[in-house]
Amino acid sequence: MTTDPVAVVRTCLELMQDGGAVAALDLLDPDLEWRNSGYPTLRGPRAHAAFRALEDRGIDFAVTFHHIGVDVDDPEVVLTDRTDVLGLGRFRTEFWVCGTFRVHEGRIVLWDDRFSTGNLVVGALRGLVRAVTP
């Protein structure tokens, strides 16, 4: 297992995309703090349960990286600029995400995603239109 922070974050998100959220759990610290703009912060077992619930509910995930790199002042911090896609059945929503991750000893201890609620709503509306039209 690599401990390179950028590789850990990239691998985690790619595992979620390719194998489901449960596949990524090994790269998440047991005491993970998971933050998403406007939503309650989840910690430890509750955060891990949320990842399992994504897969249990059949929610698909895909990611397109635009930029990813380490913070020059803190080499444990990885910054991402990406587009995430969440899907369920025919429904897909795409939205821009700015993520800050802290990686310690090869595991993500902090996952902090920020995104525009307006961008999320527009993406969801587009996804609904695509889901109901041939």
Q: How far apart are CA 92 and CA 61, in angstroms?
A: 9
Among 48, 6, 50, 45, CA closest to 25: 48
Q: DSSP class of residue 25?
A: G
- Which amino acid is present at 126? R
Q: Which of 4, 26, 84, 112 is catalytic?
A: 84
Task: Give bridge partners of residue 124 from the DSSP assignment.
Answer: none
Q: Is position 29 annotated as part of the catalytic site?
A: no
Q: Are 74 and 48 in contact (CB under 8 A)?
A: no
Q: Is position 73 annotated as part of the catalytic site?
A: no
Active site members: 84, 113
